[in-house]
Amino acid sequence: MKKKLIALFVVLASLGTTTLNAQSEYGEIKGRLLDSLTKAPIQFGSIMVLKNNQIILGATSDLDGYYSIKPLLNDVYTVKTSCISYNTTLINKVKVNAGKMTYLDITASSNSISITGATIYDFKNPLIDRGQISTIQILETEDIENAPYMDVKQGAAISAGIYQKDDGGSIFMRGAREDGTAYYIDGIRVIGDFRLPKIAVKEMRVLTGGIPANIGDVTGGVVLITTKGYSNW
């Protein structure tokens, strides 16, 4: 009986780790599909996420025009709509961050009152991000490559509320002890000391407040690191 309980605990623990990895590594695009003139919801419209002109994922808007597309890897995408009686809309440069929701409300123009064609525009980050619930600093690939520091701990140390005694050493968040800082690399928690050169990092997020429940009990803060895939070198 004791062996069965231990085996069950191991299975449940592995399932919990898998769920956390999936939540940490992937992001989501969600919002509403609306008529550009009346702002009424467009029902059962197709919303597709494209990368290099290839469809990655898609969804259909519901009765109120809401849609959700996930899971999406940390990357930049093009979002395309296809609706009966409406022109195609293309939104370029839609950035998806790991473990975060990107809100994108899309308007489409009716082809019965306008010239048939496609509406194309670039996505712009909103002044107030509805998908951000934490006190967070996000460092993108370009920011990391142009920074003077050499490893990720030095990069995290530049955020407000963080102290680092020595370059490359441990960091302390919000007055917590050294072990109060948690590190996740591609969704996997790293225990103990590590070194990761900045050239291997695609994105780094430093959370110093509003820690999500799926990360667990953290007294200080969290450093979430997404490494580059083979296509990003």
Q: Is residue 151 part of a domain?
A: yes
Question: Residue 187: what pLDDT?
Answer: 81
C-alpha gyration radius of the chain: 21
Q: Is 145 exposed, middle or buried (0-12, 13-18, 19+ CB in 10 A)?
A: exposed
Structural domain for 33, as ranges: 23-122
Q: Are residues 156 and 87 in the same domain?
A: no
Segment 169-205, tens digit of pLDDT: 677 776 667 677 888 888 888 887 777 887 888 888 8
Q: What is the DSSP letter of 42?
A: P
Last residue of a domain, one of 92, 122, 152: 122
pLDDT in tens, 4-33: 444 443 444 444 444 444 445 788 999 999
Quick check: is 4 in a domain?
A: no
Residues 6+ positions from 108 with CB-CB distance below 8 Å: 33, 34, 35, 36, 42, 45, 81, 83, 86, 87, 88, 89, 119
Instruction: Say what percent of the chain tops pLDDT 70.
Output: 71
CATH number at residue 108: 2.60.40.1120
Same domain, 72 and 110: yes
End-to-end CA distance of the chain: 51
Per-residue pLDDT tens for 74-103? Answer: 889 999 999 988 999 999 999 998 778 899
Interval 110-130 mean pLDDT: 68
Number of domain units in the chain: 2
The CATH number covering residue 189 comes to 2.170.130.10
